[in-house]
Amino acid sequence: MKCPGEKSHRNQARRCYGIAALSCVATLVLELTLGCCRAQLITTGFLMPHSSEPAHDLTGLSLEQLSQLDIVQPNVLGGHTHPAGEIMFGYTYMHTHMSGLYQGTREISPAEAFAEGFSTVHTEMEMDMHMFDVMYAPTERLTLMAMLPFKTESMLHLTNDNTRFTQSADGIGDLEVMALYTVFGDIRKGGHRLVVNAGFSFPTGSINVRDHADGDPSRPLVLLEYPMQFGSGTFDLMPGLTYLGDTGRWSWGAQTIETVRFGRNYHGYRFGNQYRVSAWGA
Ligand SMILES: [Cu+2]
């Protein structure tokens, strides 16, 4: 976090938190409004049956074979399971663009933010996320999955003396592992299924992400804002429940997954808990 000016240390600290809070609001609101702009460009996986058959990719399969593969909605976290012995490697690319400043739900101009005493505002943030995941089903009822994101981020700043600068960073995020246990139904028969999700997030993503002050390589490295940090810094529990429906031709589902954070990270903060609800059809 960068705070120019010859203020007392205490004053600076407060100003920093002010900016961080403002940026959090901007992030939250834009997540909602730009949610549909998240481009899910590529989602592929190849399935490796437990037998000695060579691995094949999806491009060699007929439409009918594709429709029989249980790779419904891979972009829904833990939203599908696999039959016993199957391994899936997945890759998802996601681009998130955020811009604008919000106070509550009202968009404000940088000038208004400066008038409130902020010395620097964030005008835009870009994030590219490459998500790698692997799934394996040791039994018919149990599927295990692990996911690790790689993030490239940049944030554009505007200061009250009208200087613009960019800070950027890249690195891995938090490793998530999840067990999906089918409590009702059978993946081979289709119909209705109920799956219990039990996930855990390890703080492998840095919360010490730094870049040069003012984006100027000659200046010292400073800690970047909360949205620029790669991980939560805490161990998080992710319990959830997934309902899957399948008639062979159509499939649909609904899911709720929570993220419950434990303690505080070594910088003394923690993110809020998350509650997610998704529904889909295909
Ligand atoms: Cu899978």
Residue 76's pLDDT is 76
Residue 3's pLDDT is 37
Residue 59's pLDDT is 46
What's the gap in Å between 79 CA and the centre of ligand 1?
A: 8
Tell me the pLDDT tens digit for each residue of 154-203.
Answer: 999 999 888 999 999 999 999 999 999 999 999 888 899 999 999 999 99
- Both tokens assigned to 107: 């968009």
What's the gap in Å between 273 CA and the centre of ligand 1?
A: 26
Report the b/e string of 229-254 with b at 16+ CB within 10 A: bbbbbbebebebebbbebeeeebebb
Confidence of residue 218 (pLDDT cuts 50, 70, 90): very high
Tell me the pLDDT tens digit for each residue of 114-146.
Answer: 988 888 888 899 999 999 999 999 999 999 999
Residue-range domain boundaries for the chain = 9-52+60-281
Q: How far apart are CA 41 and CA 124, in angstroms?
A: 21
Tell me the pLDDT tens digit for each residue of 69-80.
Answer: 444 455 677 888
What's the gap in Å between 77 CA and the centre of ligand 1?
A: 10
Strand ranges (E), 187-263: 190-202, 210-212, 221-223, 235-246, 251-262
Tell me the pLDDT tens digit for each residue of 87-96.
Answer: 999 888 999 9
What's the gap in Å between 153 CA and the centre of ligand 1?
A: 27
Tell me the pLDDT tens digit for each residue of 33-81.
Answer: 233 222 233 233 334 333 333 333 444 444 444 444 444 455 677 888 9
Determine the distance from the C-alpha atom of residue 248 to the mean position of all C-alpha atoms in its chain, rounded to a whole number: 31
What's the gap in Å between 199 CA and the centre of ligand 1?
A: 15
- Both tokens assigned to 225: 């804002």
What's the gap in Å between 275 CA and the centre of ligand 1?
A: 22
What's the gap in Å between 45 CA and the centre of ligand 1?
A: 8
Q: How far apart are CA 188 and CA 87, in angstroms?
A: 16
Q: Are 101 and 113 in contact (CB under 8 A)?
A: yes
User: Is 46 in a helix, a strand, or coil?
Assistant: strand
